[in-house]
Structure 1
Amino acid sequence: MKNSNILISGASIGGPALAYWLARHGFNVTVVEKSPVLRPGGQAVDFKGETHRLVLERTGILREVSRRQTGGTDQQIVDAGGRELAVIPGSFTGGDLEIERGDLSRILYDISVAAGARYVFGDSITSLTETESGVHVTFERGAPRTYDLVVGADGIHSNVRRLAFGPESDYVTHLGHYYALADLPERFDGPARMYNEPGRMIASGGPKAGALFVFAAGELSFDRHSAEDMKRVLVEAYRGMGWRGTEIVAAAEDVYLDSISHVRLDHYAKGRVALIGDAAYGNTLGGFGTGLAMVAAYVLAGELAAAGGEYRAAYQAYEDAFLGYAKIARTGNAGSFLAPTTRRGIRMRNWIFKYRFLLRAMKKIGDRAATDIELKDYPSPEPPPDSRSASAITSRTNSAASPGRTSAGGPPRQ
């Protein structure tokens, strides 16, 4: 097979999913991840409709994801006195199937390792130089290597996209809001509640615990790798907040803060380099990112297998399938929905949950977008290394030690 040696950047969702499918199709796959370990936690992610379910089933993890699902909890919208104004049904926030991001990431890591993918943690790509026969890659820590193909699955702030396509400012648009995730002490456990003031929202409680913050702001300057600096920004943004806002912000721990932005590219590949997931068509908190990444991994790996590794044909087929399917990520702004900037906007948003016909209309649009692609039956991949289901593989590998700097049998393949 041509171009069988592939490097993937990013070990969250899209990267391990793609690594699994490529390894099953017989490619040699290495995943590089900047974090020193597989990252746990993060907000819950969800799947919608038959297309998402079919990809989970073909990946062999539907049963395991279903076993670990967390959705179905209603959330109260309250006023400053804690009185209920409306209820957000769990079916709206959790889709058809919801799971913690960290749990899904671990499942995909486990099955991709079992299929033969190799991981390098605690390292990052510093340059990409395309030649006639491959892509020469340098790293922050590891020795330079040449790969046949490189795929960026490294999120909305993609390092691969920056190196291969150009600066982030050319492709990422700030939508006027920020969001933050934080852990909270046990005393904040309780019913899931959400409170708004113009341009600010706090959600806390429920089985997923922790807190979600969304607030309106122009572009801010802060260190995305410093929880302390992100906490500083959060405290300033929520100064004087009603309800339990000031108390919740003061107690917030391990804060992660980022902009609500969307990515727009006319092409998902340049030469031997391709992008999947949020790196290619992210829309923060839009509700479709995980499903899009999982479907993209299945499609891109399948197209490369069908083309015998001929990347030009495979990348074009992937683009043809996804430019239309990913259009849902090019519209909408979760920030303006979750944290309207006027009291009138907050009331109008609440009406959607008080008058369920509006909610049903929104859900119907989302379900239609999630299934707006026809999945091909690609060439049968190699059988898994274990004849049992992927869920069984996951259960077995979950008992192993957490991944360190390298995993799955030593250094990456060359």
Structure 2
Amino acid sequence: MNQRILISGASIAGLTLAHWLARYGFQPTVVERAPGLRSGGNGVDVRDQAVEVTERMGILPRIRELAADVQGMKFVDTAGRAVARIDTRDPAATEIMRGDLVALLHEVTDVDYLFGDSIRDLTQDDDGVTVTFEHAPTRSFDLVIGADGMHSNVRRLAFGPEAQFIDFKDHYFAFADSDPSLGEDRWVTMFNTPGTMTGIYRSGNHARAKAYFMFRSAPLDYDHRDITEHKRLIGERFADDTSWRTRELLESALADPEFYFDALGQVRMDSWSSGRVSLVGDAAWCASPASGAGAELALVGAYRLAGELAAAGGDHRVAFARYDAALRPLVDKKQQIGPNARVMIPKTAGGRWLRDLFARLQLMKALGAVERRSRAKGLRLLPDYAPAA
């Protein structure tokens, strides 16, 4: 039952889902708008139950080999002097660059791919889903899963306009490749003015570095796929900031053809499924980069969705309900991002001073240790799904 499954999106959630569906005997096809795997992105954390998922996939040793090897965050003044440092290393987690994780997932996922294409329309009935593509011929599938990010095309087609589901968190952010000489090796260096952050992420295991920009703002009207417009927005917002190394980082970032810009937002939905269509990853529950839980939720969510479909013998009505019930408590917890944005971007000079004081007193490190112990206490082993007989 329901063997032919189309997955929209070849990133962490989509590839993980395809891997497990294929292992359970389904016939997944992955459609991806980009012409190939997207190699960019920032560092992501594989932690808690996501560690177990990657171990069962056989890629955990490689994840550890490719670890970003970043020690922590440091905050600097206009002269580049470190005013505070926070050690962010977690012995129970591994940080890896998003592109490296996607490449590993692709290596162990042998399914059909449609690169350079996307879904134009979909129509479902009692027998399946008819999918019209931008380029490929129209095809029929038993189920369609949207793993296509916060601005999900599948969600728009099956559930409604994006504005119904995105909770904007008053900030915009951008990142791009940058000159590594501008930052300290193995550290994320951040400089703040009230309401803004400029930073550089320098992995110990990669030749390049990532420049970061973030700023507080009312909602902006822009095309989320227009990179030229994205660069204009960041260029205008930081054009007059000559503090620290902002100008050098901006020049370097704007030269990157894979420059990435988006709103800091969360996706909130009462249900992740509609008939034969369901969602996974950021398309369903984006917790925002401020949560630090995007990869974790993508890996665990995809594993649970594939497992519930296998356990239900492909019965999507049973599987989608069980998937929602099993995963929603974790999603609700991870969407509680607390003061993370205020830590990275204090509103005022006074707030920045207080943040730096807390960091120097190691209070943030202590709070992080408490949070990690709390996570460990709440962890349960993931189910070892077996396909229904």
Residue in 1 that maps onto 2:178 = 184
- What is the CA–CA distance in structure 2 between the aligned matches of 1:160 and 1:98, rounded to whole Å? 29
Stretch of structure 1 that moved more, 157-166 or 321-330: 321-330
Separation (CA, whole Å) in 2 of partners of 1:101 and 1:95:
18
The answer to whether residue 105 in structure 2 is matched with residue 108 in structure 1 is yes
Q: Could you tell me how far apart the structure 2 residues matched to 1:302 and 1:129 are?
A: 25
Answer whether contact 2:309 2:316 (CA < 8 A) is retained.
yes
Percent identical? 39
How far apart are 1:83 and its partner, in Å?
1.5
Deviations 1:293-319 (A, max 9, x none): 101111111111111011111111101
Q: Distance in 2 between the 1:130 and 1:205 partners?
A: 44
Aligned to 2:121: 127
Structure-2 residue corresponding to 1:386: none
Q: Which residue of 1 aligns with 2:350?
A: 344
Equivalent in 141, 153, 158 of residue 159 of structure 1: 153
Contact 1:178 1:335 in 2 (8 A): no
What is the aligned partner in structure 1 of residue 251 from structure 2?
Answer: 250
Shift of 1:330: 2.6
Deviations 1:111-160 (A, max 9, x none): 112xxx11100111111211111011111111111110011111111111
Q: Is the 8 A contact 1:328 1:369 kept in 2?
A: no
Structure 1 residue 62: Cα displacement: 0.7
**Worse overlay, 21-30 or 194-203:** 194-203
AA aligned to 2:320 is Y
Question: Is the contact between residue 311 and residue 387 of structure 2 (CA under 8 Å) also seen in structure 1?
Answer: no
Q: Is 1:96 equivalent to 2:93 in the alignment? A: yes
Q: Output aligned runs, 1:301-312, within 5 Å.
A: 301-312=306-317
Following the alignment from structure 1 to structure 2, what is the Cα–Cα distance between the partners of residues 270 and 15?
Answer: 18
Quote the residue 2:216 is aligned against: 216
**Equivalent in the alignment of 1:195:** 191
Q: What secondary structure is seen at the aligned counterpart in 2 of 1:210?
A: strand
- Pairwise CA distance, 1:367: 5.8
Pairs within 5 Å for 1:305-384? 305-332=310-337, 334-365=340-371, 368-369=374-375, 372=379, 374-379=381-386
Equivalent pair of 1:281/1:329 in contact (CA under 8 Å): no
Specify which of 73, 77, 80 is matched with residue 78 of structure 2. Answer: 80
Asked whether 1:273 is paired with 2:277, we answer: yes
Q: Does 1:175 align with 2:175?
A: no
1:254-273 superposed Cα distances (whole Å, 9 cap, x missing partner): 22110000010111111111
Aligned residue among 278, 294, 308 for 2:299 = 294
> How far does residue 366 in structure 1 lie from its aligned partner after superposition?
5.2
Is this contact kept in 2: 1:34–1:122, CA < 8 A? yes
Corresponding residue for residue 148 of structure 1 = 142
Deviation at 1:350, TM superposition (A): 2.6
- Select between 23-32 and 103-112 the one with higher mean Cα deviation: 103-112
Task: State how far apart, in whole Å, the 2-side matches of 1:354 and 1:4 are.
Answer: 56
Match of 2:7 in 1: 8
Contact 1:7 1:147 in 2 (8 A): yes
Letter in 1 for 2:141: Y
Aligned to 1:396: none
For residues 318 and 379 of structure 2, the distance between their equivalents in structure 1, rounded to whole angstroms, comes to 22
Kindly provide the amino acid, as one letter, of the partner of residue 349 in structure 1: R
Distance 1:96 1:30, change over 3 A: same
Query: 2:312–2:387: 8 Å Cα contact kept in structure 1?
Result: no
Deviation at 1:245, TM superposition (A): 1.1
Report the Cα offset of residue 372 of structure 1: 4.4
| Residue ranges of structure 2 left out of the alignment (5+ in a row) | none
CA distance in 2 between counterparts of 1:167 and 1:373 reads 36
Count of residue correspondences:
375
Give the letter aligned to residue 262 of structure 1.
Q
**Structure of higher RCO (CA pairs closer than 8 Å, 6+ residues apart):** 1
Pair 1:184–1:95, CA change in 2 (3 A): farther
Is 1:206 the counterpart of 2:213? The answer is no
Q: Shift of the alpha carbon at 1:363?
A: 4.2
RMSD: 2.0
Counterpart AA for 1:203: G
Q: What SS does the aligned partner of 1:229 have?
A: helix
State the alpha-carbon separation in 1 of the partners of residues 127 and 109 from structure 2: 26
Output the TM-score relative to the length of structure 2: 0.91
C-alpha contact 2:86 2:364 (8 A) present in aligned 1: no
Determine the structure 2 residue equivalent to 1:19.
18
> Offset of 1:5 from its aligned partner?
0.6
Distance 1:130 1:202 in 2: 46
Q: Secondary structure at the match of 1:108?
A: helix
Partner of 1:409: none
Contact 2:6 2:30 in 1 (8 A): yes
Separation in 1, partners of 2:16, 2:130: 24
Q: Distance in 2 between matches of 1:217 and 1:183?
A: 24
Give the Å deviation of 1:189.
5.0
The answer (yes or no) to whether the contact 1:172–1:263 under 8 Å persists in 2 is yes
Whichever residue aligns with residue 152 of structure 2, its letter is: S
